[in-house]
Structure 1
Amino acid sequence: MTDTESIIGRRDRLPGHRNESGWDITASAGDIERWRDEAGRTVRWRGGDADAVSVIRLGVSELLSNVVKHAGDPRCRLELHHVGPTVRVRLFDHCARVPMVTVPDWDAEGGRGLWLLREMTGALGCTRVPGGKWVWFAVPLGSDGS
């Protein structure tokens, strides 16, 4: 895993992976739009259609918002992996607590982001690792599967 304290906010190509991009980020509410735009541009550049870009942007917003609200440590790592006809987005944070995805209370102001992301992607997960966890989701690049 990449040291999340190095090169804060710099885009880099992951070693040995042509179709992967990653950023070390110090998450803040004011920067979420910047990172969702960057992820959207990256997916569009890789051939993602408008639906893929929209879901990627929503998912990146949700994952970074959760870091800001719940992780305690704002340092995180955002990665996009182009695997065949899909893009897998994953975010590492330093909190070992696994996020709960529950049916939302429709009267509440929040609490539906991960549920909505799971419903939109069908592929949402979390992997605990030493020092924290990776939360990930996968999105097809296009409606034709390309």
Structure 2
Amino acid sequence: MAVLTRSPEQQHHTYCWDLLAHPRQIETWRRTVALVLRAWGASDATVETARMGLSELLANVVRHAGDPYCRLSVVMGGGLVTVRVEDRSPCVPVVREPAWDAESGRGLWMLRAMCLGFGCDREVVGKSMWFSLGLDPVDEGAV
């Protein structure tokens, strides 16, 4: 079940959904977050990085949390957008340089390198993984 909220403060806008992480639903949530970011004026690069990052966070809930319940939130304020996924698992991932010949284990390392902010916060129950990106459109021809 999805629950959408919007904060009353004028400086921050928040959308939040309670959901059950399932591999078949990840693309739906990627599209949803992309729609929110585009409505806020995010660049294509920001939208695509957020889509990739959200895939990684939700896939980690599916693979490692042991409980599919999670909360997805997207917050915009101060020229930044923060995507956060909270789950009930107390296990905090260790992000380190991956073995490049491994089949997996690169996602969070790559995400951290692509974002302005990245972290994991312990919660009363579980943890919260998040990343922040610049919202303002960039000169994509300068890349």
* TM-score, L = length of structure 1: 0.88
The answer to whether structure 1 residue 73 and structure 2 residue 67 are counterparts is yes
Match of 1:50 among 44, 57, 69: 44
| Counterpart for residue 34 of structure 1 | 28
Q: Where do residues 76-87 of structure 1 align in structure 2 (5 Å cutoff)?
A: 76-87=70-81
Q: What is the aligned length?
A: 136
- Which 4+ stretches in 1 moved above 6 angstroms? none
Deviation for aligned residue 1:17: 4.6
2:104 matched residue in structure 1: 110
Number of the residue aligned with 2:138 = 143
Given that 2:86 and 2:129 are in contact with CA atoms closer than 8 Å, whether structure 1 keeps it comes out as yes
CA-CA distance at 1:94 after TM superposition: 0.3
Q: TM-score, normalised by structure 2?
A: 0.90
Aligned CA distance change for structure 1 residues 15 and 84 (closer, same or farther; 3 Å): closer
SS in 1 for 2:86: strand
Structure 1: 5+ residue stretches without partners = 1-7
C-alpha separation between the residues in 1 aligned to 2:93 and 2:81? 21
How far apart, CA to CA, are the structure 1 residues paired with 2:32 and 2:100?
Answer: 31
Unaligned runs of 5+ in 2: none
